[in-house]
């Protein structure tokens, strides 16, 4: 059995409607020793949301204190509210040998790339812009003008896909989960993560 002492920091991005949430949700059901990082936010909790499940809901004062204490891995202010990734749970789970998944927008992912270039960056795509549009319309949660804005944002996000290590096209959910799992397996099998194992087992 290969050395598994090098857990992965996996950063996943993709436009709204690309299916990254569904893909990660299904992957996590069978992924042992994997921690999904939950973001913190200062916005109010919405009906149906749970603290510690959808977000860690905190006051603006508490969030600013965390920024001052350098306790946020990355953060941004959007629509008058702060959003960010608490540093401690990420570092603690990596130290415990667990893979960690960060689901971030492109701006957040690029911040992580600067401070953790060793992370694995994965971009999810829909099979086409028309499919993306149909998915957004199918949610029945937003007006046409909001959908148009999301599609415009999606185009700009997709322009940044070249900054990532891998692309997963989420056309069929099961296939997308399989591709994601294969990426994780391939990264764990890389020589640099297994050299100590080889030395210990074969050159004692």
Average pLDDT over the chain reads 92
pTM of this structure: 0.89
Q: pLDDT confidence of 175, banded at 50, 70, 90?
A: very high
In terms of residue numbers, what domain contains 70?
38-96
Q: What's 200's domain CATH number?
A: 3.40.50.300
| Domain harbouring 91, CATH code | 3.30.63.10
Claim to verify: residue 115 and residue 139 sit in the same structural domain: yes
* Reported confidence tier of residue 46, pLDDT bands at 50, 70, 90: confident
pLDDT beyond 60 at 123: yes
- Asked if residue 188 and residue 136 are part of one domain, the reply reads yes
| 88 in the same domain as 103 | no
pLDDT for residue 32: 85
Q: Are residues 126 and 156 in the same domain?
A: yes
Q: What is the pLDDT of residue 86?
A: 96
Secondary structure in 3-state letters for the chain: CCCCCCCCEEEEECCCCCCHHHHHHHHHHHCCCEEECCCEECCCCCCCCCECCCEEECCHHHHHHHHHCCCEEEEEEECCEEEEEEHHHHHHHHHCCCEEEEECCHHHHHHHHHHCCCCEEEEEECCCHHHHHHHHHHCCCCCHHHHHHHHHHHHHHHCCHHHCCEEEECCCHHHHHHHHHHHHHHHHCCHHHCHHHHHHHHCC
Q: Which of 78, 96, 114 is the last residue of a domain?
A: 96
Task: Summarize the confidence of residues 65-76 as an average pLDDT.
Answer: 96
């Amino acid at each position: 059995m290969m050395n598994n002492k090098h857990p992965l920091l996996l950063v996943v991005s993709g436009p709204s409607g690309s299916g990254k949430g569904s893909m990660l949700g299904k992957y996590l059901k069978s992924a042992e020793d994997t921690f999904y990082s939950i973001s913190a936010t200062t916005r109010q909790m919405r009906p149906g949301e749970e603290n510690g499940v959808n977000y860690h809901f905190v006051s603006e004062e508490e969030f600013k204190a965390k920024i001052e204490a350098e306790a946020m891995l990355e953060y941004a202010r959007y629509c008058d509210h702060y959003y960010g990734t608490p540093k401690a749970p990420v570092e603690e789970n990596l130290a415990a040998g667990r893979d960690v998944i960060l689901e971030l927008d492109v701006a957040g992912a690029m911040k992580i790339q600067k401070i953790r270039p060793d992370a694995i960056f994965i971009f999810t795509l829909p099979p086409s812009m028309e499919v993306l549009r149909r998915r957004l319309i199918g949610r029945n949660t937003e007006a046409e003008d909001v959908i148009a804005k999301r599609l415009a944002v999606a185009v700009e996000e997709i322009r940044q896909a070249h900054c990532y290590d891998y692309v997963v096209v989420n056309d069929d959910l099961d296939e997308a989960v399989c591709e994601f799992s294969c990426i994780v397996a391939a990264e764990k099998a890389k020589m640099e993560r297994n050299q100590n194992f080889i030395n210990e087992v074969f050159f004692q």
